[in-house]
């Protein structure tokens, strides 16, 4: 929720709101009383974008912390592929521009970045794919996972561009 008006007015309004509602206020802006919807939208956009970036950063921090502690999270393509094969991904995160090639089984859909000649599960034919991240996301959705594509984040990039929160 975004409230328009001076900081003083916003503080008064927030004080009157139930705490659960007041906690949902993410920013403020000032606008004329008879401002058009388009003007309001232009003032709201930067507040929403800043909020989205903050939430992405918090989620990535949580992912990296849990992965480092081995607490139901993994980072890096190989670890994500292993978790995907086990059907354990609850939420998959990856950078928007992350591209990775790999291999996929034509028979069962097994995905890997390791160079193998036959599928270890069904002995099916393996073929090269240039879009393994898309296939990972598709398979994760089929398994009931949530997908979050994040904008540029230095920490996630340094940690392999991809990670996942796992089911318990």
Strand pairing category for 73-75 and 162-166: antiparallel
Q: State yes or no: pLDDT of 69 exceeds 80.
A: yes
pLDDT in tens, 103-126: 999 999 999 999 999 999 999 999
* C-alpha R_g of the chain: 22
Q: How far apart are CA 92 and CA 75, in angstroms?
A: 10
pLDDT in tens, 24-66: 888 778 888 899 999 999 999 999 999 999 999 999 999 999 9
Q: How far apart are the first and last CA of the chain?
A: 32
Domains of the chain: 56-166 (3.30.1330.30)
**pLDDT for the residue numbered 127:** 95
Query: Which comes out higher in pLDDT, residue 1 or 122?
Result: 122
Query: Which comes out higher in pLDDT, residue 58 or 13?
Result: 58
∠ CA 120-121-123 to the nearest 5 degrees? 70
Residue 15 tokens, joined: 């004080």
Query: Average pLDDT in the 66-79 region?
Result: 97
Cross-strand partners of 147: 92
What pTM was computed for the model? 0.81
Torsion of CA 66, 138, 81, 123, to 10 degrees: 160
Query: Which comes out higher in pLDDT, residue 38 or 23?
Result: 38
**pLDDT for the residue numbered 15:** 84
Q: How far apart are CA 130 and CA 122, in angstroms?
A: 22
């Amino acid at each position: 929720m975004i409230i328009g008006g001076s900081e003083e007015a916003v503080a008064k309004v927030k004080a009157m709101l139930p705490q659960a509602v007041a906690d949902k206020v993410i920013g403020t802006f000032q606008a004329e009383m008879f401002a058009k919807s388009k003007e309001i939208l232009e003032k709201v956009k930067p507040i929403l974008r800043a909020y989205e970036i903050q939430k992405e950063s918090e989620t990535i921090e949580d992912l990296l912390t849990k992965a480092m502690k081995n607490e139901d999270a993994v980072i890096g393509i190989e670890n994500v592929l292993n978790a995907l094969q086990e059907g354990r991904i609850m939420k998959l995160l990856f950078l928007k521009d992350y591209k990775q090639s790999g291999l996929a089984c034509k028979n069962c859909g097994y995905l890997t970045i390791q160079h193998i000649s036959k599928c270890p599960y069904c002995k099916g034919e393996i073929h090269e794919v240039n879009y393994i991240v898309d296939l990972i996301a598709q398979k994760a959705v089929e398994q009931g996972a949530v997908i979050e594509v994040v904008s540029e984040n230095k920490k996630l990039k340094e940690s392999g561009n991809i990670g996942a929160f796992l089911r318990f």
